[in-house]
């Protein structure tokens, strides 16, 4: 079993739709969690950190459920520019080791 | 400008010919990592370093070497490249205690 698992999709949604991605992790020592966005095999860029209390940044909401060991990303009012691959990342704090999920591909269509 | 710089960006070479991919960051970050990414897969960590002269294996270290003689540089060395090391490689750096990673633009390696 992979340490970090994501639904690979692809997710094809119309503009304006709400879409949710989930990610599960197996290492209970994991302490920090992130969503990164990657466009067309370019470098990944941080989308948002994920906090236990949940956090929101505009149309994006991230949630963490430590008991069930999963994190989620909700995108509301999808835009064409949201089309990308979304990578779930799990770190063991201050240990330098990062584990990435394989990514979920989102295509937003007009 | 704060950045992570990788060189070369593209390289086509042959099996067995030693190569080095350089990575340099100008943000005084303690942590640096190398990843490879293959089609349909996320990033897999090859090696990481938490400070000068401190390096550790990631998930896929076989066939690679690294060194961290200076804080800003973290070269990736392929002593005897093989075709299964054809991949897209990313270097990343982060501050100790702030695990958000800053990535270089990537290096596309093709080993024939």
Mean pLDDT of B50-76: 96
- First CA to last CA across chain B, in angstroms? 36
Cα dihedral A61, A46, A58, A39 in deg (nearest 10): -100
Mean pLDDT of B3-7: 96
Evaluate whether B85 touches B32 at the Cβ level (below 8 Å).
no
Pair type for strands A104-109 and A84-91: antiparallel
Query: Quick one: pLDDT at residue B41?
Result: 79
Asked if A1 is an interface residue toward chain B (Cβ–Cβ < 8 A), one would say no
Do B31 and A96 count as a contact with CB atoms less than 8 A apart?
yes
Between B36 and A30, the higher pLDDT residue: B36
Return mean pLDDT, chain A: 91
The answer to whether the Cα torsion of A24, A27, A32, A38 is positive or negative is negative
Predicted pLDDT at A35: 95
Residues A56-73, mean pLDDT to the nearest whole number: 94
Name which of B28, B35, B37 is nearest B94 in CA terms.
B28
| Beta carbons of A103 and B58 less than 8 Å apart | no
Cβ neighbours of A4 in B, within 8 Å? 42
pLDDT of residue A2: 83
> B27 pLDDT exceeds 80?
yes
Q: Tell me: pLDDT of A11 over 80.
A: yes
| Alpha-carbon torsion (B99, B100, B102, B103), positive or negative | positive
- Residue B42 binned pLDDT confidence (cut-offs 50, 70, 90): confident
DSSP state of B80: S
- State pLDDT tens for residues B71-106: 999 999 999 999 999 999 999 999 887 778 899 999
Distance CA B51, CA B36 (A): 21
- Mean pLDDT, residues A83-106: 87
Confidence of residue A31 (pLDDT cuts 50, 70, 90): confident
Residue B96 has what pLDDT? 82
Q: Does A41 touch chain B (CB under 8 A)?
A: yes
The pLDDT value given to residue A93:
63
Tell which of B43, B49, B93 to mutate to test the A interface (max A CBs under 10 Å). B43
Tell me the average pLDDT of chain B. 94
Contact status, residue B89 vs residue B35, Cβ threshold 8 Å: yes
Comparing A61 with A92, the larger pLDDT belongs to A61
Question: Is pLDDT above 80 for B32?
Answer: yes
| CA angle, residues B100, A6, A21, in degrees to nearest 5 | 80
User: Could you tell me the sign of the dihedral formed by the alpha carbons of B31, B87, A103, A108, in that order?
Assistant: positive
Contacts with A50 from chain B: Cβ below 8 Å: none
Interacting residues of B99 by C-beta distance below 8 A, sequence separation 6+: A32, A34, A91, A93, A94, A98, B31
Q: How far apart are alpha carbons B62 and B65 in whole angstroms?
A: 8
Quick check: A11 and A109 in contact, CB under 8 A?
no
Which residue, among A24, A42, A96, would best test binding to B if mutated, counting the most B CBs under 10 Å from its CB? A96
């Amino acid at each position: 079993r992979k340490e970090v698992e994501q639904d690979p999709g692809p997710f094809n949604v119309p503009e304006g739709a709400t879409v949710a991605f989930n990610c599960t992790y197996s290492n209970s020592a994991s302490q920090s969690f992130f969503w990164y966005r990657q466009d067309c095999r370019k470098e990944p860029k941080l989308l948002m950190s994920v906090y236990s209390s949940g956090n929101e940044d505009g149309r994006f909401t991230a949630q963490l459920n430590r008991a069930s060991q999963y994190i989620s990303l909700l995108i509301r009012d999808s835009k064409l520019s949201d089309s990308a691959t979304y990578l779930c990342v799990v770190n063991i704090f201050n240990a330098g080791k990062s584990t990435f999920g394989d990514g979920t591909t989102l295509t937003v269509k007009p | 400008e704060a950045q992570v710089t990788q060189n070369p960006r593209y390289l086509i070479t042959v099996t067995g010919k030693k190569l080095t991919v350089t990575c340099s960051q100008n943000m005084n970050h303690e942590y640096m990592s190398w990843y490879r990414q293959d089609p349909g897969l996320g990033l897999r960590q090859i090696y990481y370093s938490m400070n000068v002269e401190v390096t550790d294996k990631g998930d896929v270290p076989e066939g690679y070497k690294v060194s961290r003689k200076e804080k800003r540089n973290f070269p990736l060395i392929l002593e005897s490249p093989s075709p299964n090391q054809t991949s897209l490689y990313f270097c990343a750096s982060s501050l100790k205690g702030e695990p958000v990673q800053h990535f270089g633009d990537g290096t596309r390696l093709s080993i024939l």
